[in-house]
Amino acid sequence: MGSKVSGKTYDWYLIKRILTYTKPYKSVFYWSVLLTIGIAVVSPLRPLLTQVTVDNFILKNNTIGLLWMVVLMISLLILQTLIQYYHTFLTNTLGQSVIKDMRNDVFNHILKLKISYFDKTPIGQLITRTVSDLETIADIFSEGIIVIIGNILQLVAIIAVMFYQDWRLTLVVLIPMPFLVLATYIFKEAIKTAFQEVRTQVGLLNNFLQEHISGIRVIQYFARENQEFNKFKTINKEHQDAHIRSNWYYSIFFPVVEFISAVSIGLLVWYGSKSILNNQVSPGVVIAFIMYINLLFRPIRELADKFNTLQMGMIGAERIFKVLDNQEQAINKGQLKNGVSKGEIKFKNVWFAYADENYVLKDINFEIKEGETLAIVGATGAGKSSIINLLNRFYEINKGEISLDNIAIKDFDINYLRAQIATVLQDVFLFSDSVANNISLNNPEIELHKIIEAAKDVGAHDFIMRLPGNYQYQVQERGATLSAGQAQLLSFIRALVYNPKILVLDEATSSVDTETEHLIQVAIEKLMQGRTAIVIAHRLSTIQNADKILVLNQGRIVEQGTHQYLLNLNGVYKSLYNLQFSE
Rounded CA gap, 315 and 381, in Å? 40
pLDDT band per the 50, 70, 90 thresholds, residue 10: low
12-324: CATH topology = ABC transporter transmembrane region fold (1.20.1560)
Q: What is the pLDDT of residue 82?
A: 93
Asked if the model's pLDDT at residue 3 lies above 50, the reply is no
Q: Across the chain, what does the average pLDDT equal?
A: 82
| Res. 307: pLDDT tops 80 | no
| pLDDT reading at 516 higher than 70 | no
CB 459, CB 523: distance < 8 Å: yes
Kindly report which listed range (166-170, 176-180, 500-504, 525-529) carries the lowest average pLDDT score: 525-529
- What span, in angstroms and rounded, lies between the C-alpha atoms of 499 and 508? 18
Residue in 408, 354, 409, 403 with CA at minimum distance from that of residue 383: 354
- Return d(Cα 498, Cα 271) in angstroms, integer: 85
pLDDT tens digits, 196-237: 787 778 778 877 887 787 777 778 777 878 888 888 888 888
pLDDT of residue 9 exceeding 50, the answer is no
474-493 pLDDT, tens digit per residue, is 887 666 677 777 888 888 88
**Which pLDDT value is given to residue 2?**
40
Check residue 75 and give its pLDDT. Answer: 92
In tens, the pLDDT along 75-114 reads 999 998 999 899 889 888 888 888 889 888 888 888 888 7
What per-residue confidence (pLDDT) applies to 354?
83
What backbone phi and psi angles, to 5 degrees, belong to 386?
A: -60, -35
Chain region(s) in the chain for CATH 3.40.50.300: 345-581
Confidence of residue 340 (pLDDT cuts 50, 70, 90): confident
Residues 6 or more apart whose CB falls under 8 angstroms from that of 46 comprise: 73, 76, 77, 80, 291
pLDDT for res 513: 61
Longest CA span, the chain: 120
- Residues 200-211 have pLDDT tens digits of 787 788 778 877
Q: Which segments of the chain belong to CATH 1.20.1560.10?
A: 12-324
Residue 477: the pLDDT is: 67
With 0-12 CB in 10 A as exposed, 13-18 as middle and 19+ as buried, what is 546?
Answer: buried
Dihedral angle sign, alpha carbons of residues 245, 247, 248, 250: positive
Mean pLDDT of 287-292: 88
How many angstroms separate the CA atoms of 262 and 562, rounded? 93
State which fold the 345-581 domain adopts.
Rossmann fold (3.40.50)
User: What are 377's strand-pairing partners?
Assistant: 551
- Residue 47: partners with Cβ closer than 8 Å, 6 or more residues away: 161, 288, 289, 291, 292, 295
Is residue 225 within 8 Å of 219, Cβ to Cβ? Answer: yes
Q: State the pLDDT confidence band at 4, using cuts at 50, 70 and 90.
A: very low
b/e 411-430 (16+ beta carbons within 10 angstroms → b): ebebebbbbbbbbbbbebeb
Contacts of 361 (CB under 8 A, 6+ apart): 350, 351, 352, 383, 386, 387, 390, 555
Residue 2 belongs to what H/E stretch?
none
